[in-house]
Amino acid sequence: MSENKQIIDKKIDKLNALKNQAKLGGGEKRIDSQHKKNKLTARERVDYLLDNDSFNEMDALAHHHSNSFGKEVYLGDGVVTGFGEIDGRKVMLFSQDFTILGGSLAEQHGRKICKIMDTAMKIGTPVIGLNDSGGARVQEGVSSLGAYADIFLRNTLASGVVPQISVIMGPSAGGAVYSPAITDFIIMVKHSSYMFVTGPKVVKTVTHETLTSEELGGAEVHSSKSGVAHFVAENDIDAMNIVKKLLSFIPQNNAEEVPIIPTDDPSNRFDEALNYLVPANPNQPYDIRDIIHSLADNSDFLEVHKDFAENMVVGFIRLAGRSIGVIANQPAVLAGVLDINASKKAARFVRFCDAFNISLLVLEDVPGFLPGSDQEWNGIITNGAKLLYAFAEATVPKITVITRKAYGGAYDVMNSKHIRGDLNYAWPTAEIAVMGAKGAVEIIFKKEIEDAENPEEKEQDLIIEYNERFGNPYIAASYGYIDDVIIPQDTRRILINAYELLQNKVDKNPYKKHGNIPL
């Protein structure tokens, strides 16, 4: 018996030694180097992100089998994978380890990631990727490239089935950027993460531009200019806190209902300040976020894409504990006009919410589409159509509140009754018309104004008359295009009752393989 115990103990000791070796990653020197860059290691990130003692690692003993260049073998092959819990909810995740061969991706590394993605699809849990990699491992050649493509396929198949969140916590270059790009949300870390298809050296050779990695593909660039990044974090800890908060609004998969978080914020709470928020002067701006915060449970609003296309505001709130996706024109930026970037930003958000059963709230104050050759030549037609398509296709509960302007084709696009808006409300300050008063008068009464004794005075009189006739919500209400004109202070209570009514709504699209959204 004692001999048997010795044999078993020896085997257990060997296993423990191997697991301890795996936990060391690339060794203490490289771990210290990671810390000097103000970055956590792959395992430290996992430990912080997940609930205490909930992590179950998979494939810790996997390693490469290549003999092409060198024979250095590291257990885990540069990525930590497994499953655990965040706030008691199961997640699958991978965390690339930059201390091992620069976190480079190759055959075994890719297989590990694919395995947790396949498992997530089977059981219906979110996938979180903590990306910190120097790219494809050159030593493994085409096997590295194939591993990337294997991951891209799974990203695509999982899209709209389970939520996918990518956190960029270091470099992500070349082919590596396409996996995060297919996922639902990208979080980047200031001054320590960057994404680009071709790096600064190649760019300089080809275009003669001299750029740093930060200038070419840093967090601030991708959050404000390209729109690639949805969130920007101050550091690794902040990035993972964003992941936790984001997941709190999202169901586990496309077959589940949204999480409901109990709240002490009364459903019948009213805010008299909303009655006077919209300025009497139609050209005067106000911040749509003031309305969003007023409506939300405890004023809590998680804004998505905050620094990109700021004339459109999107993000998550809760109403009576229920997660709601908000799409709102922002009168404080470009008068809330729809342009290419705003349309794309909103369309992608609408489609995400629809895929995961998150009801939509539209706050509308839009003067139309942005005119100009730049917009036309860069495809405002097809890009504006993306938003129209997204709203028309969506089958989740959809409610619109028109706070002020709803002009022209933009009125149709912003979840109007005509494209299956379920309940459409307007404030008394709403103006629903083909265009603003001045433009309309100049077209309709051009000759009368020119022939008038005092053209300016005549034009002003006609503008006043036009506003009295069309600068209100009552004509639309008379046709039933607006379900009710409501007092602004009552908006929260009315919305909560409306979403409760719609919670069992069933709306279906015709059978199809998939639609052909105007990409």
- In the set 199, 409, 439, 452, the catalytic residue is 409
Looking at beta carbons, which pairs linking 88-92 to residues 24 or more positions away fall under 8 Å? Answer: 88/51, 89/125, 89/247, 89/252, 90/123, 90/125, 90/252, 91/50, 91/125, 91/126, 91/127, 91/128, 91/247, 92/116, 92/117, 92/119, 92/120, 92/125, 92/126, 92/127, 92/128
CB contact at 8 A, 94 and 116: yes
CB contact at 8 A, 421 and 431: no
Among residues 68, 147, 135, the alpha carbon closest in space to that of 111 is found at 147
CB contact at 8 A, 349 and 386: no
CB-based burial label for 57 (10 Å; 0-12, 13-18, 19+): middle
In order of 279, 343, 412, 437, the CA distances from 388 in angstroms are 28, 9, 8, 25
Take residue 226 and report the two structure tokens written for it.
Answer: 């390209």
- Helices of type H across 159-222: 178-182, 200-207, 213-217, 219-221
- Would you call 410 a catalytic residue per the annotation? yes
Rounded to an integer, what distance in angstroms lies between the CA atom of residue 349 and that of residue 327?
8
Vertex 383: Cα angle to 381 and 389 (nearest 5): 100
Cα torsion at 101, 102, 108, 109 (round to 10°)? Answer: 160
- Helices of type H across 79-132: 107-123
- In the set 78, 135, 175, 315, the catalytic residue is 175
Rounded to an integer, what distance in angstroms lies between the CA atom of residue 98 and that of residue 416?
49
Q: Which residues pair with 319 in a beta bridge?
A: 322
CB contact at 8 A, 183 and 213: no
- In the set 174, 217, 325, 436, the catalytic residue is 174
**452 CB-side CA count, 13 A:** 15
CB contact at 8 A, 355 and 254: yes
In order of 53, 91, 128, 132, 245, the CA distances from 83 in angstroms are 11, 6, 10, 19, 18
- Would you call 174 a catalytic residue per the annotation? yes
Q: Residue for token digits 């052909």? A: 516
**7 CB-side CA count, 13 A:** 4
CB contact at 8 A, 367 and 329: no
Active-site positions read 174-175, 409-410
